[in-house]
Chain A
């Protein structure tokens, strides 16, 4: 049994560490990933006997991926579909930040506002972002505007709430001190409240980025003329499962890249945290 790591080592950081047999463990991991692909290939070969194309082989998917980078499907190449989705994601996301951060700071700073508005926000959060797709269709049809709106709705609450939590973390003593030292309201906002709440804000931004991306994909699956979600929907309609899988891959990779960008940005903007700690 591998409980030895529990017993011989103290401190929670040790739980994550690999030591002597790290190569052995890495080998197991690589082996299981290879096994996953082998299983996939076997499943593809078996199902192809009865339903051709229902499960494409990994090789087929890789070929389709290479093909779609240069050849158009559903009107555009894969990179163009991804960029098109990203543009709508960016639009909704930027709006969510521009409106959400000030609102969150307001909630955090004024207690009565927070207490009055947060129950409504709490309730709205229980409505999944996808549930806003039908009303967005009612309001704007199923075009680009309604998709950007979906991204906004999916991203907005996470940003507002995390900003509010971040802003209400500010020690009132610090505010009083800076006030005594002559800082005006704007300076207190810029030099005290913003730096202190920034890490919390970024936590929300990270969730918001991923929420918005997922909601956009759902919206594109339901209606649209361009985008990765649309690409997948078209692949499904044409019975081209390899294209569906390529689209899934593109969605996951884009989501991972967006997440990395937000993390990098947050590290960059809160560099002072480490030096302070």
Chain B
């Protein structure tokens, strides 16, 4: 289940973008302070220019009709209003927190199942022999294709959406946890075993700390996937949430609300990713370039 956020760097690992090793390579350290500021300034400037162009195309010169592309000002105003006045039963915060809750539940469930499964698949050959073929058969079925089945089985309540997010998140959890344990230097494992640590003790005290950075990167990929799939699930099976807002508004030709919802979707996606990076730094400060 690929995510755009990690598309490029993980792609060479496996085409589905589930592997996180590449993602860790992205932010190299060692850039000078000046260089960082320069980039930040250029990036900020380009954002300002982009929004200015958007404004010119709409309110400024009226090149595009507001139904196709509302102006940034009207979108901001709509968001401001939605923050206080409910849109289809909930305010903007209500819809956003509905989406986030589903994402977190599905992502956590995916981690609780996927991370131990992935670690065990790498650690125990027998476990891998039993589980990997089943995993491999089910994995190509994309989370999106599960949506109709989930709706039939569970209705359009929260369960169906959590299930979809779970399916989307569990794959990168498993793949990266497996990859994380596999990438641990075998010499460390042999040394630990030689010094008399038991198999489980080695797993706990040597392998897990050594693989934590990759595990964390996998958690981030999983969260990105979760965020992507919750939007899809909300388009089809929801009565609240940002994806639901965007589609409902589009069907009512209310473009301001649609674009407002999209801006918020992008912002939350960005925040979730930044949050995961911060957590990874906190939990595995020894990892470089996370």
User: Of the candidates B9, B151, B269, which one forms a contact with A128 in the assembled complex, judged by CB atoms under 8 Å apart?
Assistant: B269
* Interface presence of B145 (CB below 8 A): yes
With A138-B253, A232-B145 already in contact, the answer to whether A54 and B8 are too (CB < 8 A) is no
Contact A244 B148 (CB under 8 A): yes
With A54-B152, A130-B228 already in contact, the answer to whether A138 and B11 are too (CB < 8 A) is no
User: Of the candidates A165, A217, A244, which one forms a contact with B152 in the assembled complex, judged by CB atoms under 8 Å apart?
Assistant: A244
Which residues of B are found within 8 Å of A2, using beta-carbon distances? 123-127
Within the complex, the shortest CB–CB distance from B85 to chain A, in Å, comes to 20
Contact A128 B231 (CB under 8 A): yes
* Interface presence of B57 (CB below 8 A): no
Listed stretches A23-31, A65-73, A179-187; interface member: A23-31
* Interface presence of A134 (CB below 8 A): yes
User: Of the candidates A123, A129, A131, A236, which one forms a contact with B151 in the assembled complex, judged by CB atoms under 8 Å apart?
Assistant: A236
With A9-B186, A54-B152, A130-B243 already in contact, the answer to whether A115 and B43 are too (CB < 8 A) is yes
**Main SS class of interface, A:** helix
User: Of the candidates A138, A199, A221, which one forms a contact with B255 in the assembled complex, judged by CB atoms under 8 Å apart?
Assistant: A138
Q: Which residue in chain B gives the minimum CB-CB distance to A262?
A: B15
Contact flags A185-212 to B (C-beta < 8 A → 1, else 0): 0000000000000011001101111110
The number of chain B residues with a CB under 8 A from chain A is: 83
**Interface size classification for chain A:** 35 or more
* Interface presence of A120 (CB below 8 A): yes
Q: Which residues of A contact B (CB under 8 A)?
A: 1-3, 5-7, 9-12, 15, 24-26, 28-33, 36, 54, 112, 115-120, 123-135, 137-139, 154, 157-158, 161-162, 165, 199-200, 203-204, 206-211, 213-214, 217-218, 221-222, 232-233, 235-236, 239, 241, 244-245, 247-249, 251-253, 255-256, 259, 262-263
Q: Which residues of B contact A (CB under 8 A)?
A: 1-5, 7-12, 15-17, 39, 42-47, 50, 67-68, 122-127, 129-134, 137, 140-142, 144-149, 151-153, 182-183, 186-187, 189-190, 193, 199, 202, 227-229, 231-232, 235-236, 243, 246-247, 249-251, 253, 255, 258-259, 261-262, 265-267, 269-270, 273
